Amino acid sequence: MLAPMAAPPTAATPSSAAPTDPLGVAGSDASLRRFLHGLPGVDQVGVEARAAGLGTRSVKTTAKAYALDLAVRMVDLTTLEGADTPGKVRALSAKAVRPDPTDASCPAAAAVCVYPDLVATAKQALGSSGVKVASVATAFPSGRAALDLKLADVANAVADGADEIDMVIDRGAFLVGDYRRVLDEIVAVREVCARPGGHDAHLKVILETGELATYDNVRRASWLAMTGGADFIKTSTGKVQPAATLPVTLVMLEAVRDFRRATGRMIGVKPAGGIRTTKDAIKYLVTVNEVAGPDWLDPDWFRFGASSLLNDLLLQRQKMRTGHYSGPDHVTLD
């Protein structure tokens, strides 16, 4: 059961001046490695069994209605295709602001997520709606470019008004144990996210867990990203399989929970890629509640990176409201 389903306690607004290395573990390459390799190992069987168990919880009636609206409010409505056009981004932005034009009670999505060259278009389309513009950057999705090019990519998106930057880590460096290089890039990107007078772009750090091979690596990469000053840790680009999974997200939720206990600082989590049904979204919300706690049941602290999940959430909302499915042609196609 997803409980409590009352409004979660008010959490602090994400910090725009997150300290890097709040635990003082990154003073030298050796101390950083010692810290990351000293994290407890993940019990693979235990994590997968727990995720499977949480995925069977039943959420009905009032709790389901609450969960549906919460999930809509958590969607980063995403288009990351080479064929994206300003017209598509404008249509997606309109949908994010008013997902169901037949129902004024339907909340807006959290953000629209686009490539850097479409940030200005999304920004203009979203206006003062409160829906954020998120932009992938740092040579997304591979991250294979020189650092100055990655930083220029981020700077362009920030200059065009991106509220949030979704950067990828250097998985090659991570997998050979060059944690310093990964950390330094995160810190450098974070600096480029800063704006004079505050209003920094929030930084989501994509681990690309499908390339990290082990849950131990997912845990290490989560702590490394948080040490570098991430506001959010995000599972995947959506371009690599497997993308988001419930067990991987569970490991990341444990990391943000434990990081908060250790530092007092709250970090958000964003599973992305392959989350398409209401049923799956509810499994994630149950897991958030059980693993990290109800403080994370808020769009400031949990997002879904998804291109088509919103449509299924809208169909389920309509079913709850009217008693019948309107059919997929009732919602706009993404």
Ligand X SMILES: O=C[C@H](O)COP(=O)(O)O
Q: Give the interface with ligand X as residue ranges (CB under 6 A).
A: 78, 80, 238, 272-274, 305-308
In the complex, the smallest distance separating the C-beta of residue 78 from ligand X, rounded to whole angstroms, is 4
Tell me, yes or no, if 270 is annotated catalytic: yes
Catalytic residue among 76, 270, 298, 300: 270
Cβ 1 vs Cβ 57: under 8 Å:
yes
Tell me, yes or no, if 319 is annotated catalytic: no
Residue with smaller CB distance to ligand X, 33 or 88 = 88
Burial class (CB in 10 A: 0-12, 13-18, 19+), 142: middle
In the complex, the smallest distance separating the C-beta of residue 90 from ligand X, rounded to whole angstroms, is 19
Residue with smaller CB distance to ligand X, 32 or 331 = 331
In the complex, the smallest distance separating the C-beta of residue 175 from ligand X, rounded to whole angstroms, is 22
- Best CA proximity match to 247, nearest among 96, 52, 92: 52
Residue with smaller CB distance to ligand X, 233 or 272 = 272
Residues in contact with 313: Cβ distance below 8 Å, sequence separation at least 6, in sequence order:
68, 71, 72, 75, 99, 278, 281
Q: Rounded distance, CA 285 to CA 249, Å?
A: 11
Q: Rounded distance, CA 236 to CA 31, Å?
A: 28
List C-alpha distances in Å: 76 to 53, 118, 223. 27, 15, 23
Residue of this chain nearest to ligand X (CB atom): 238
Catalytic residue among 95, 123, 204, 234: 234
Residue with smaller CB distance to ligand X, 32 or 168 = 168
Q: Rounded distance, CA 323 to CA 320, Å?
A: 6
Catalytic residue among 166, 231, 298, 300: 166
Q: Rounded distance, CA 271 to CA 305, Å?
A: 6
In the complex, the smallest distance separating the C-beta of residue 276 from ligand X, rounded to whole angstroms, is 6
Residue with smaller CB distance to ligand X, 220 or 234 = 234
In the complex, the smallest distance separating the C-beta of residue 36 from ligand X, rounded to whole angstroms, is 26
- Return the number of other C-beta atoms located less than 10 Å from residue 279's C-beta: 11
Amino acid at 54: L
Alpha helices in the chain (DSSP H): 29-38, 44-54, 61-73, 86-97, 119-126, 147-159, 171-175, 179-192, 215-227, 246-263, 278-287, 309-322
Tell me, yes or no, if 234 is annotated catalytic: yes
Active site residues: 166, 234, 270
